[in-house]
Every structure is written in structure tokens, then in C-alpha cells.
Structure 1
């Protein structure tokens, strides 16, 4: 049965071949384009097809040009094509350097141009890892394990920047759900496409991105990665910012209030720091004083102990002698005082007489010294006197007398202030003796009065009792003083720690003041920056919208800037698929090339 069907098919094909050949031969030859007048078109669309290898390197690149013809005739286009091919009809396309001419009928006209040396606006880098080990696509085919695919997109410096800045990339990866499980794409969108799973990534204009896909795979094969690039021509309307501006206005006012509050805080911290500084200085002085008091505490206790002993001895002495006191001794004391006063009177009289005599003598001495001539005799004059023939011995006496008179005058002038002071001193001493004489006589009078009016035993008894009370009270004072000095020692040690703590507080408040100043500077900048926050928000929103709003982009030709009426330019890019080698295809590849007839016969075997 199979043989009969094959034979019948082959016979039908042979019968049809003459008709095909006749049809091809009878087709009218193409008209010469030069016989046509100039044509016109309303718009031109370009679709750029690019093939990449599995790692993202560019391989083949060609453009399908579509013209919407408005007037039949010859149309001129431009492009640095290595070759061109008419995709609409069999009319010839003429190519001279970058100039392309063809004859188009009304309606649509398509032709393909192949590009050899033109770069895409983007670069793609695709890497594969299986179980953590980087591998090539060829090595991955048929494998299984944990797969990670990373796709990096970047600007191609050799490509046209206008497309990179205005075009949106959409990267689509298709995975067979029977082979791929647990698909994860953090930055992509995963969707079902029949029995397959699709992962889609989007790259905005002027952006360079990196995407990863992870999955568990068995018997690995993968379709081509599809990349579409189209203009990002979405028009983005600016939102109504009035409500937003009203909402952020309190924030601007609040930052201003915060700045004022921080300013007051800064002033308060500055006052606190000044106060702590004064406290620290006062504490340092107090610490010095208490340390000095502690150092002198031993001497103070020793002195107090001596006073206590003296009071005890005085009290004992008065008590022991109060019963044997002889009042006649006080009477003799009164007489002795009067005798001393009389002797002082005699001395005072002698000093007064001496003062008068000294004044007379000093006056005479002053006149004598003043009479010594002031004339100055030089050494030359004295030498001339020796050389005058006078008696040398006489000249020697004269010279000696002259020198002695000069010495007397100089000495007197030097000590004259001392001489001047002697007379007033004698007068003062005489007056002092007079006062002392009067005081002694007064004391004698008062003593006599006291002896006649007072019982000495009674006075001494009162004195003894007072001394005993004083001595007893001083014992308590001395004990308190000892405790006080001990407390001073403890206070000095404890206060040293307190003072060290104050030093830390002083340093801390200084740092706090510096921090408050910096904080105030920061809040001042914040208040200044947010004072017009509503307007800034509106400006930022407009700038952000401007970055993504490419609605004003005017399409340009990918192949030549001379091309006009370009309506759209799109890119269709795909990588090589990852497939296991086909055994039958491998066998066919190694077979020798067969003739057309042999290959035709093979179709029916």
C-alpha cells in the first residue's frame, strides 16, 4: 500500500512539473523601472531583525522596509546594505552605494536589506550556570540540575544613542513546564502561555539592567530568548499636586518650628555648659581649699592640744595658789610700778636735754661741712703744682687735705638723712617715755584701788571656777575638732571623686553644646530646604515625568538619516535556541551532496 501511494504521488509530481516550468517560462519579464515616473509614499516603517548567539553576541542583522505607497512609480530609499531583496513582487531593485531605487505599485511595498557592519543600540550579555558552575549553552543541552540564567543589558557605545534613550526593551523567555520547575524571576513577570511558562523583563529607556532566572531543569532544552524594542511613547499626564502641596505645607512649617526649637535648645545647652564650667572652676577652688585644710589639720589639732594643756595647767596653778596668796606682794608691786615710772621720767628728761644739745651740734656740723669749697682740682692742676717748684712736702699736705675735705663732704652728704632722722627720733622717744610713765602710774593707782575694794580670795576663787569650766568645755571642743579634721580628710578624698565627675560633666556639656550647634545648623539647612517644599515637589514630579515621558519622540530611520516619512522603527531580536543534536540531521550533514533529482526522489522514499 505504501509503495502504491508513493508511486502515485511521484507520478503526479512528474506530470505537474511541465506545467510549473511552462508557467515560470511564460511569466512576463519585469518592467524596467526606468520606464516608470517618480512615485510617492505616505509613510515608511522599519523592522530590524537581529540574531544573537546564545551568549548575546550579535550575528545577523537585516531590515524589512515597508512603504505605504500613495502614488505608483519609482521610490528612492537609503541604507548601507550589503544586499537587498524585493519581498513584494519580482520587480528589480537597483542599488548604488547607499541609494536604493525600486518601482512600487499603489498599496504596500516591502523589501529586505541586509546589514553587515551596523551595531545594535544595546549590548546583551547572557551567562548560564548549572549547579553553581558556569557553562556554555552547547554544554547545557540535555543536562539537569539547578539552572541560573543571567541577562545583562547595557548601552552599546557603537550604536545609535537615540534608540537607547527612547526605546523600551521587553525580554521574553519561554520555558517548557515539563522540563522546568520552581521558576523564579525576582525582577520579572511570570505567566502561563499554554503548556509553557513565560518570564518577561522590562528595561526602561536610558537604563542598564541585570536580570536572573532560576529553575530546576531536566533534559535541558530552551527556545530562543525574544527581545522586542519599541518606542516608549506613553504620554504621562502630570498629577494634580494641589492637594499634595496642601498636605506637605504643615511639614515645611513643622521643620521651621523644629529649627526654632533646636535654636532654643542650643542656647539652653550653651548656658548649661557655661554654668557647668563655672561650677567646675568653683569646685576646683573648693578642692584646693579643702586639701589645704586637710594638710593643716594636724597642726590645728596640735595647737588645740597645747591650748587644752595650758588651760589645765593654769587652772591647776590658780587653784593651788589661791589659799596661800599674800596681798602684801601686790602692795610692793604698786610701789615698784611707781619707782619704774619715776625712773622713766628721769630718762625722759635726759633724752629731752640730749635732743637740744644734738640740735646745736648738728647745726654747727652742717655749717662746717657747707663751708668746704666745691671747687674741683684736676689731676693736671695737681701735676702743674708739683712742677711749679713748690715744696713737694707742702704740696703733698695740700693734696691730702683736699682729698680729705672731699671725702668728708661726700660722706656727710651720703649720711645727712640719717642725721636728720636722729632729732625727731629723740623727741618721739621722749614722748613715748612720758606716755609709758603715765601708764605705769595709772596702773599703780588702779591696783591700789582694787586692793582696797576687792577680796582677792573671792576673785581668785571665781577665776579658778571659770578656768575649770573653760578647761572642761575646751576638752569637748578639742574632741569635736579632732572629729572635724577626720571628717575633713574623708571629705577631701570623696570630693576628689566628685570633682573628677564634674570634670566629665564639664567635658560632656561641652560636647553637648557642639552637638547642639551642629544640630541647629542641620535643622537650619532642613528648614531652608523645606521652606518651599510644595513647589519643589511639583518641580521634582515634572522632572521625573519628563524622564519617562517620551511621547514627543520623533521616529528616525535606523539605517540612514536621509530616509523620510519614517512612521515607526521596531526591533525584533532573538538568541539561538538551546537544543540537543538531532541524530538524523547529523547523519544528513555528513552525507555527500546529492543532485536535485536524487534529493527529489528521496522525498518519496
Structure 2
């Protein structure tokens, strides 16, 4: 039995001995690496505190041989073959075959991630520790806060995009993620968030949970290589150019409107002043009508008395009072001439004011701004108050134009009436002058023998003057009615002038607003393009060159990625009955198993 056992031992020694006695034919050659990839795996606890980090390094080896790598590893492990790795401080030396070569390095405990991740849980409004959350039911909020880790490498925080995801069972109800996307993933709901480079973020997922379990938060950090398509920006800036040009045209139109409203207001003011003069003149004329009628009545009575006295053919007739009659008639005619001159002057002033008003109001565009146009302008304008003023001013202008159109015939009829009135007063004055002249001539050439003929003429004069006096009374009554009615018309003209004054002030404010708006928006396309370029520069990391996470001495790094996961929250499972351990095999049995 001992002999047989010795034979087996000798056989085993013969099989293994050559491997120890073999000597390498030549020294190891230097390998050549074309690129290196790093994938950083980090495990966090349920609250986001760092547990441990390891890195999987993958080399693209162009020529087999010895290669070097650097990293602050507590230990390393070959993942490609069974060859040992030589670690001296931060330097790792290895024999790598041609092709892909991979090894794992476990980072030192003082290694920090570039991001600070905090996860908290609130169940039914109360913050709970994750250790006691498994199996609970209720309304759960999961808060994830990300920020820069001041102790980490900022180059990754500034240039890497975070993609966070978590899986929740479909049995959970009312799943909501304000800044994320919720999608179906088989029997689960997949919640995904994106955090842009260099940005802090506070994220929340809420759901009604039952018998809660959670697989944790998975975070992938990769370089931001979002494709930014700039073709659409040309259309946007083109639209902004059209808007800017439209605002410029609007400002020009408001400037023209302001000029027209100013002319309208000046015309209305002139009309108001002329109307006030006319009103005062008519009032003054009406005030003197009683005196005029009284004087005319006295003349009428005097003529009637003289005529009555002469009718008696008295030889002792006193003609001294009759001699005073022509002077009274001339004085009355002179007063009427002054009245006619005042009416003529009033007519001329009115004609000028009316012509200015007519031109100004006809200058207001007849087309009205529609409600749809105002609504569209209000949506495109950064200052809705300016648009409201424009709408109010336009409405006021249209109201003035409509009011003027409705009373235009009355305005137009005033001037002919004044002209007719002036002519009638002038004609009456001329008749009085003629009567006075004829009477004076008759008195000079008449003696007592011609008294009968004089009496006859005075009788006719008295009769005619009675008709004249009746006409004069009718005229003064008309002047009274004109004075009363024109007072109302003047009030309307004054109100119109006040309205145009307010309109001018409103349009002036509007023009100031549109001018300011135009100044602010005339460079809008260029400013918008600058903001677009700024945004693109902020998020376009296409020029970023990867650097090693583990050591600045590593070269030819083509990519560095991070895979970060928080600890799962699971219910405790019942311990399964452990199977009986197999009897440990000896060396010889293990050796024989190679041939079985």
C-alpha cells in the first residue's frame, strides 16, 4: 500500500516539476496601448453615503507585452487571465496580451466621488430611516438631492451628465415625478431623471406604496454629448426679426397717429375758442336785443304820434320833435351796422376754426383696430399697458370721428346762417338810413302848406316802420333762441376739445411706450442669438477631453464612465435550512477528478 502511494506521488512530481524548472526564453517585451477605458463603480448606502468604489480598467493593446497603469488602489485583480499584477504604490505593472486587457482596482477609502448624493424618505409626511422602511405602506416621498462634492474632481461635475433611474413595482399607485419621466418597463414603472452638467438638483418621486421594497437608485454619469441642432434657431431668429420690424412699424404708425391727433386737438381748440367768441357775441347781441326793440318801439310810437298829430292839420304843429327823428333813425342804423360787422367777423373766425377741425378729424383713419388684432398685439408685446392705451386711444379717436360725423351738418349750417343773419341786419340798417335821409330832406323842404303831403308820407312811414318793428322783434326772438341753443352746442364743442386733449396726452404716452418698446426690441434677434449661443456653449461639451479618474499620470484615456447605485431596501427573508456541507476532498482525490 505504501509503495503504490509513493508511485502516485512520484508521478505527480514528474507532472509539476517541468513547470518550475522552465526558464523564459527571452525577457518580457514592452507592450503598446492605443487607448484605455475606465468604468467607475460606486456603491452607496440607502441614504446616499459612499460605501466603496472600484474601477474596471480596459486597455486596447496593440502589441503584447508589459504595460503600466497608475491608480490609488488598495488592491488590484486581473480580470483577463490568471497572471499576477505587480503593484508598487500607485504603479501597477502587468503582462498584457494583444487585444483587450481588463483589470479591477479597488479604490482607497479616502477616494471621493465628484457628486454629493443625498437620498431621504418621507412616509405619510414623516421622515423615516430607510432601515425601518421595508414592508411599510402609505404615501411615500423619495427625495434625491445632487450637488458638487467639494472634495471631488470638479472636471467631472462640470462636464458630465447624470442619468438617474429607479424601478418601482406596478402595484404602487399614483406614481409621480415632477421633473422626471415615468414609463412602463414590464411589471415595473421606470422613473428617469436627467441632471445637466454643473447643475445642482432636488428631485422627488412620490407614490402610494404597499409592502414597500426598493431596488435603489441607479445613477449613470457620462460626458455630456447632447446633439444640439441649430437649424431651428434660424427660424426663431427670423420670427424675432419680423416681430422687431413689426414693432418698428407700429412705432412709426403711432408717431403718425400722434401727429394727426395733435392737429386734431389744435383744430378742436381753435374751434372751441372761435365758438366761445361766437357764443359771447350772440349772447351780447341777445342782451342788447331788448334795448334795440325798445328803441325801435319808441321810434314806432313817435312816428305814430307825429302821424296822429299831423292828421289833425293843425297850423300850430311843432315840428321840433320831428326834427329829432332822423338822428334817432341814423343811430339805430349805426347800431345795426355794428351788429352786422360783429356777425361777419364771427362768421370768418368760425369758418377758419371749422376748416381746421374738418381737416384734422378727416385725417383720423376710418378703419378700426379689431379685437383680434389687439389681442395678437397684446400677446406679442412685453408691456400690455401700452397696448391697452393704444386700444383706448383708438376707441377715443373713433368716437370723436363718429361724433363729428353726426353733428357735421349742424356745423356746416352755422356759417350760412351767420351770413344770412348779417345780410338781414345790414339790409334793415340800410332801410333805416334811407328813411332817415328821406325824412330829413322832407323836413328841410316842407313848409306848413305842404303839411298834408308830409302827413301822408309819415303815415306811410309809420305803417312801414310798424312792419319793420315786427320783423325786428322776430329777429331778436330768433337771436334769443340761437343764443340759448348755441350754448348747448358750445358745451359739446368744449367737451370735444377736452376729449381731443386727453387723446393727445394718451397717444403721446403711447408713443413714448412704443418708442421704448422699439428701442428694447430692435436688437432682439441679435440678443436672442447671443442667448442661444450662450446656452449652447454651456451644454455643448463636444470639446471635452477625457481624463483619468484614478490618476493624472494615466495617458490615452478614451472614456471614463460612472455607475453608481444605492443600497436596496428589502424585507428580511426567512433563513433557508442549510444543506450538509460536503466532505472536503484531499489533494489526491482532486487530482484524480481531472481524469474522471
TM-score computed with the length of structure 1 as normaliser:
0.60
Query: Are residue 307 (structure 1) and residue 307 (structure 2) matched?
Result: no
| Structure 1: distance between partners of 2:140 and 2:559 | 38
Contact 1:125 1:152 in 2 (8 A): yes
Kindly report which structure 2 residues correspond to 1:333-344, keeping only aligned pairs within 5 A, or say none. Answer: none
Deviation for aligned residue 1:222: 0.5
Aligned to 2:37: 45
Residue 319 to residue 561, structure 1, CA distance change in 2 (3 Å): same
Aligned to 2:554: 563
Residue 112 to residue 449, structure 1, CA distance change in 2 (3 Å): same
Aligned to 2:156: 163
Contact 1:266 1:517 in 2 (8 A): no
Deviation for aligned residue 1:129: 3.1
Residue 75 to residue 448, structure 1, CA distance change in 2 (3 Å): closer
Query: Are residue 576 (structure 1) and residue 567 (structure 2) matched?
Result: yes
Deviation for aligned residue 1:223: 0.7
Secondary structure in 2 matching 1:116: coil
Deviation for aligned residue 1:501: 4.5
Contact 1:266 1:520 in 2 (8 A): no
Query: Are residue 513 (structure 1) and residue 508 (structure 2) matched?
Result: yes
Aligned to 1:148: 141
Contact 1:120 1:159 in 2 (8 A): yes
Aligned to 2:386: none
Of 36, 56, 68 in structure 1, the residue corresponding to residue 48 of structure 2 is 56
Aligned to 1:126: 119
| Structure 1: distance between partners of 2:94 and 2:239 | 70
Deviation for aligned residue 1:77: 3.1
The worse-fitting range, judged by mean Cα deviation, of 557-566 and 43-52 is 43-52
Contact 2:116 2:149 in 1 (8 A): yes
Residue 196 to residue 281, structure 1, CA distance change in 2 (3 Å): closer
Aligned to 1:447: 444
Kindly report which structure 2 residues correspond to 1:581-596, keeping only aligned pairs within 5 A, or say none. Answer: 581=572
Kindly report which structure 2 residues correspond to 1:101-112, keeping only aligned pairs within 5 A, or say none. Answer: 101-106=92-97, 108-112=101-105
| Structure 2: distance between partners of 1:445 and 1:224 | 134
Query: Are residue 471 (structure 1) and residue 469 (structure 2) matched?
Result: yes
Q: Report the structure number with the largest CA radius of gyration.
A: 1
Question: Which digits, 9 at most, give the CA deviation of each residue in 1:94-134, with x for residues without a partner?
Answer: 333xx323333435241313233343222333343333444
Of 208, 219, 227 in structure 2, the residue corresponding to residue 216 of structure 1 is 208
Contact 1:86 1:92 in 2 (8 A): yes
Q: Which runs of 5 or more residues in structure 1 are unaligned?
A: 1-18, 334-442, 586-598
| Structure 2: distance between partners of 1:603 and 1:310 | 156
The worse-fitting range, judged by mean Cα deviation, of 278-287 and 566-575 is 278-287
Residue 461 to residue 197, structure 1, CA distance change in 2 (3 Å): closer
Q: Alpha carbon RMSD of aligned pairs, Å?
A: 4.6
Residue 127 to residue 456, structure 1, CA distance change in 2 (3 Å): same
Query: Are residue 198 (structure 1) and residue 195 (structure 2) matched?
Result: no
TM-score computed with the length of structure 2 as normaliser:
0.61
Aligned to 1:385: none
| Structure 2: distance between partners of 1:474 and 1:223 | 113
Contact 2:240 2:524 in 1 (8 A): no
Deviation for aligned residue 1:558: 0.8
| Structure 1: distance between partners of 2:114 and 2:230 | 30
| Structure 1: distance between partners of 2:182 and 2:582 | 43
Contact 2:41 2:53 in 1 (8 A): yes
- The alignment of Structure 1 onto Structure 2 pairs a total of residues equal to 442
Contact 2:42 2:563 in 1 (8 A): yes
Deviation for aligned residue 1:50: 1.8
| Structure 1: distance between partners of 2:310 and 2:319 | 17
| Structure 2: distance between partners of 1:580 and 1:445 | 143
Secondary structure in 1 matching 2:161: strand
Deviation for aligned residue 1:144: 1.3
Of 312, 315, 329 in structure 2, the residue corresponding to residue 324 of structure 1 is 312
Of 111, 116, 120 in structure 1, the residue corresponding to residue 109 of structure 2 is 116
| Structure 2: distance between partners of 1:300 and 1:280 | 30
| Structure 1: distance between partners of 2:479 and 2:442 | 43
Question: Which digits, 9 at most, give the CA deviation of each residue in 1:506-554, with x for residues without a partner?
Answer: 2222321342354256457656655x89xx97x9887766655544432
Aligned to 1:273: 261
Q: Which runs of 5 or more residues in structure 2 are unaligned?
A: 1-8, 322-439, 584-596
| Structure 2: distance between partners of 1:289 and 1:196 | 91
Aligned to 1:384: none
| Structure 1: distance between partners of 2:502 and 2:320 | 76
Residue 471 to residue 550, structure 1, CA distance change in 2 (3 Å): closer
| Structure 1: distance between partners of 2:116 and 2:219 | 12
Deviation for aligned residue 1:571: 0.6
Question: Which digits, 9 at most, give the CA deviation of each residue in 1:302-331, with x for residues without a partner?
Answer: 424532542453244224322235455579
Contact 2:272 2:490 in 1 (8 A): no
Contact 2:244 2:524 in 1 (8 A): no
Aligned to 2:173: 181
Deviation for aligned residue 1:91: 3.3
Kindly report which structure 2 residues correspond to 1:215-364, keeping only aligned pairs within 5 A, or say none. Answer: 215-233=207-225, 256=245, 258=246, 261-262=249-250, 264-286=252-274, 288-289=276-277, 292=280, 296=284, 299-327=287-315
